Chain A
């Protein structure tokens, strides 16, 4: 997926127009080697900014928030089996789960890739 087609949150998740969710390239760098992904169960409903999924490195654990409200329709089985995909391919093979958005227009309120890049320059982390 081209990052330019994605929308981003301040907590470093991305969401595609079809509701696919993952974490940004910046986030995977910060997390370092992902060793485990705990994907959400299909059919589960999340509000925006609710923790939906967990990603672990050797020395840390990170909650991955739902970028918008929605219902989980699929979880990426490949990353569960091979968590390194999140590092190797954050925008393609390393996607985490798919949402049916409660209201797809919510996504438009999130940052574009360009805006996210600007945000990274200013954000303190």
Chain B
């Protein structure tokens, strides 16, 4: 497929090369291993492929979902991907030749600027793989910067983020200390007990895995800084339309899963890791960074910069092994952020807040009290009279994903279901959902 040469051209090309047959070009390869038989089907035409894929996709069609837990179903305006999938963006590569890559470079500069403004942070990179690896890289960076070797992570941080951090830290000489939390938030007293001269950083997720706001962030920040450690804050970008941004409570590094900004759920990826920090940490930052400069005629232009941090120059001494970023996802997020604008983000956050609070209220009235009585944004856990696994199964038959049974990650919360509501749910959807829940719990 996709080979343009005619048989005649191939012969001519071999003649130009100066060989009699193609196999003369394979002289260095082990003869006994060449062209192994492959137990794989033959090719499909595009038409057959489309039919095949549509059948596979159809298989899992569902009407509604109340699942959140790190991946959120927000409406994505049509123009986001109509623009991002333009070949000029999607079929270009890392902008090494800046003169022929200003489109990608300028869009990343805009992305960095919007991420800074979202977090109220001073500097941002061109993105990392996803929110989880961004959190892991932040832990490594904090340890390198402080010269200390322990990172504190409360268990209110997404369990899968914690798993990725664990993988990254395992052989780095940095210890991961997971702090158990009761009551849905991290208490300063829990941190005080373990905070010390060896603490490189504390990671907080706000809102946290249970959807609760980490109500003590200001105090936690003060504590951590008094101990000479860094504060790493992980956020939910849409929530930042309403809740305090990490820069305001003194975070040194801010990270987020950028998926809610224009990326489809897509079964987990590709997403985009947002990563920002204070300016004095920028040279220790992992990943690509775009900067503004001028060309030889004085025209404003953009270029990859501070590259001496990176693996292609520093090799084993690089700040990270990451090579590319998630440029196309970052671009989609940039377009999405532009379309929302200042006021749009605020309104979007408000819609999420309103709908989630409506549903939480309705559920409370019908005998599903919230597990944690804490301020929340658009996600909350409720206690169920029937095991949540059973609820999940029964509602799926009605075409509805009820939420995440928390017992899968926290055995003590085996009666709780984590429910997320975004702007896409109508009052009618939610009333029907409450009805279904009532029915299966009767």
Contacts and interface: CB of A to CB of B under 8 A. Distances in A.
Contacts of B308: 35-36, 56-61
A59 B283 contact: no
Interface string B305-320: 0111000011001000
A36 B313 contact: no
A61 B307 CA distance: 9
A58 B312 CA distance: 12
Binding site secondary structure of chain A: loop
Interface residues of B, number: 7
Interface string A45-78: 0000000000011111100000000000000000
Interface size class of A (residues with CB under 8 A): under 10
A3 B97 CA distance: 40
A38 B317 CA distance: 14
Contacts of A60: 308, 313
B314 A61 contact: yes
Contacts of B314: 61
A48 B317 CA distance: 20
Contacts of B317: 61
Nearest to A54: B308
A57 B317 CA distance: 16
A58 B283 contact: no
A61 B317 CA distance: 10
A58 B306 CA distance: 7
A35 B313 CA distance: 14
Contacts of A57: 308
Contacts of B306: 36
Contacts of B313: 59-61
A36 B283 contact: yes
Contacts of A59: 307-308, 313
A60 B318 CA distance: 11
B11 to A, nearest CB: 43
Contacts of A35: 308
A38 B307 contact: no
Nearest to A62: B308
A35 to B, nearest CB: 8
Nearest to A35: B308
A60 B308 CA distance: 6
Contacts of B283: 36, 38
A35 B291 CA distance: 14
Nearest to A63: B317
Contacts of A56: 308
Interface in B279-325: 283, 306-308, 313-314, 317
Contacts of A58: 307-308
A58 B304 CA distance: 10
A86 B317 CA distance: 23
B284 to A, nearest CB: 10
A61 B314 CA distance: 7
A57 B308 CA distance: 7
Interface string B419-432: 00000000000000
A-B residue pairs, 8 tightest by C-beta: A56-B308, A61-B308, A61-B314, A61-B313, A60-B313, A60-B308, A59-B313, A59-B307
Interface of A: 35-36, 38, 56-61
Given A57-B308, A61-B317, 12 more contacts: A35-B308, A36-B283, A36-B308, A56-B308, A58-B307, A58-B308, A59-B307, A59-B308, A60-B308, A60-B313, A61-B313, A61-B314
Interface of B: 283, 306-308, 313-314, 317
14 contacts: A36-B283, A36-B306, A38-B283, A56-B308, A57-B308, A58-B307, A59-B307, A59-B308, A59-B313, A60-B308, A60-B313, A61-B308, A61-B313, A61-B314
